[in-house]
Amino acid sequence: MAIDLGKLSQRRAALEARLAMATTALRDAQRRDDARRKIVVGGTLLTAIRDGAVPASVLDILRARMSERDRLLFTHTDTTPVSEVAERQS
């Protein structure tokens, strides 16, 4: 039985390419899911603070752990609890 090394080598290269593509696709999906998780948690937290379900001091604690660049993202974020806004308007 003759073994065609060229054919086997081509098959191996094709399988390695498929494996690399599958690995990349999995890594990209995991990265997308991680980003989505962070967005959902962040939005939920900001809404909970605004609705008064979570104290605004929680955001202050989180800001203290952020880099200056990230902290700047929250300078114009209105996290005033809705109940306080209603009190100010009365």
Q: Give the residue from 36, 16, 35 showing the smallest Cα distance to 24.
A: 16
In the predicted model, what is the mean pLDDT of the chain? 88
Q: How far is CA 23 from the centre of its chain?
A: 20
Q: Report pLDDT digits (tens) over 45-58.
A: 989 988 989 898 89
Q: Is residue 90 very low, low, confident or very high in pLDDT (cuts 50, 70, 90)?
A: low
